[in-house]
Structure 1
């Protein structure tokens, strides 16, 4: 009997070749952004990452154009660079609040 790997690695798509309206599922997002699942959802909850689009009763996806903008902002330092480990939502909220305070301070200096 053959055994299969528990997790099949996902090759990230070429996001620059995709139209803005293309939909990306979570495994592709994680491969592109190189973050954990819990970090991605913490960023979505905090409003740093784009909101998902419901494509079915139990399925969501993200627009490629919005993910592309998020990644460009993240490379400039606009988006959070922290990661959440263990799915600790309380810590994620604390870090999101600190990031929001830092953003307000940056706006005040500008």
Structure 2
């Protein structure tokens, strides 16, 4: 039986909070301030605003950033 190892489009649409992305527990070894400055400079993807104080990023966008 052939198993498709590619991720489904739904898995790439998983949403990550800032604490999932930056250190100490995140997947990127950068500080929160560096991440936010990178967003402002256009180096990192812009967040999706879910509310006035809630920002998230798509997992697929973060994976593309890691792959580049």
TM-score (norm 2): 0.76
Higher relative contact order (CA 8 A, sep 6+): 2
How many angstroms does 1:71 deviate by?
A: 1.1
- Give the length in aligned residue pairs: 57
Which of 25, 42, 46 aligns to 2:17? It is: 25
TM-score (norm 1): 0.49
Moved over 3 A (4+): none
Which of 67, 70, 73 aligns to 2:65? It is: 70
- CA RMSD for the aligned pairs? 1.5
Q: Distance in 2 between matches of 1:19 and 1:45?
A: 27
Q: Distance in 2 between matches of 1:27 and 1:34?
A: 12
Give matches, 1:1-110, under 5 Å.
19-30=11-22, 31-73=26-68
Unaligned runs of 5+ in 1: 1-15, 74-110
Unaligned runs of 5+ in 2: 1-6
Higher helix share: 1
> Which structure's CA Rg is the greater one?
1
Higher strand share: 2
